[in-house]
Amino acid sequence: MHDESVHDVRDPWVGPETDPRRRLVELDPEEAPRRRLVELGPEEALRLLSGTPLGRIVFTRHALPAIRPVHHIVDGGDIVIRTHEDAALTTRAEEAGAHGVVVAYEADDIDLRTRLGWSVVVTGYCRLVTDPQAAARYKAVLHPWTDQHMEQVVRIRPDLITGIRLTRAD
């Protein structure tokens, strides 16, 4: 039996500005470039990561994966982000102490029209930055994107850096 109360099964949070179907402009197959995937070395991957301000931190929360978009900088090969004191990541890093907690970090820049670009994934240990001078230096350049107090600074020391570039095949 058909439920008359269900008029539209679209996600109610997807509007004209956020509907991914509106952002993805398909190229005519005749115009679309042939693409190939190129593996990136760690140095190139970190260079690309340094050139974009936004990424996604991946960590576990209650034994499940959690992903948050965050603003970052790359400093000496490490990724540095700010977070708030009550964040699950902050709590996990505090509990882990000097050992750190395993996280992944991803950033990308892929053109939705041509589907050319790159993606970088870093896996490593994150630790709270406890040195007051270092924390102050990072806070001066990492400005929160929300009005939430972001008093904690976290440093991710990469153990594994992988990346791909989607390039034209011709």
- pLDDT value at residue 7: 43
26 in Cβ contact with 114 (< 8 Å): no
From the options 3.20.20.70, 2.30.31.70, 3.40.50.10320, 2.30.110.10, give the CATH code of 20-168.
2.30.110.10
Q: What angle do CA 30, 35, 38 make, to 5 degrees?
A: 175
The reported pLDDT for the residue numbered 14 is: 57
Pairing outcome for strands 152-168 and 78-83: antiparallel
| Stretch 91-110: mean pLDDT | 84
Q: Within a 10 A sphere around the Cβ of 64, how many other Cβ atoms?
A: 6
- Band of residue 47 on the pLDDT scale cut at 50, 70, 90: very high
What type of residue is 144?
P
Per-residue pLDDT, averaged over 55-64, amounts to 90
Structure token digits, residue 67: 């992903």
pLDDT of residue 113: 82
What's the CA gap between 12 and 78, in Å, rounded? 39
Break the chain into its structural domains and give their ranges: 20-168
pLDDT, average across residues 89-110? 82
pLDDT band at 75 (very low <50, low <70, confident <90, very high): very high
Strand partners, 66: 59
Q: What is the per-residue pLDDT for 5?
A: 46
Q: Which of 16-20, 38-42, 55-59, 71-75 shows the lowest mean pLDDT across its residues?
A: 16-20
- Assess whether pLDDT exceeds 60 at residue 106: yes
